Amino acid sequence: MKKIIPLLLLIFITNMLNAQLDLKYQVPGEKIMELADVDLAPSMRIDDKGEYMVLL
């Protein structure tokens, strides 16, 4: 029994190491790229006194 536990542990660990696939970089689909390439909404900054505002 003492010899079986380390053997099972070794098999389990080696199985976990081979579980991850070696994937290359994948380009997202066209619909996702359309969402990612939209222009950002303008942002606004106001000074501490609340007198001036800048649209970026």
Question: Is 35 a member of any domain?
Answer: yes
How does pLDDT run across 11-51, given as a tens digit for each residue? Answer: 877 776 665 677 788 899 999 999 888 888 999 999 999 99
Residue 46: predicted pLDDT: 95
Residue 7: predicted pLDDT: 84
Residue 17: predicted pLDDT: 65
Question: Is 34 a member of any domain?
Answer: yes
Question: Is 2 a member of any domain?
Answer: no
Question: Is 49 a member of any domain?
Answer: yes
Residue 50: predicted pLDDT: 92
Question: Is 47 a member of any domain?
Answer: yes
Domain count, the chain: 1
Identify the DSSP state of 41.
P
- Which position has the higher pLDDT, 3 or 51? 51
Alpha-carbon distance of 56 to 53, in angstroms, equals 10
Question: Is 38 a member of any domain?
Answer: yes
Classify residue 7 by burial, with Cβ atoms within 10 Å: 0-12, 13-18, 19+.
exposed
Which domain, by its residues, includes 54?
29-56
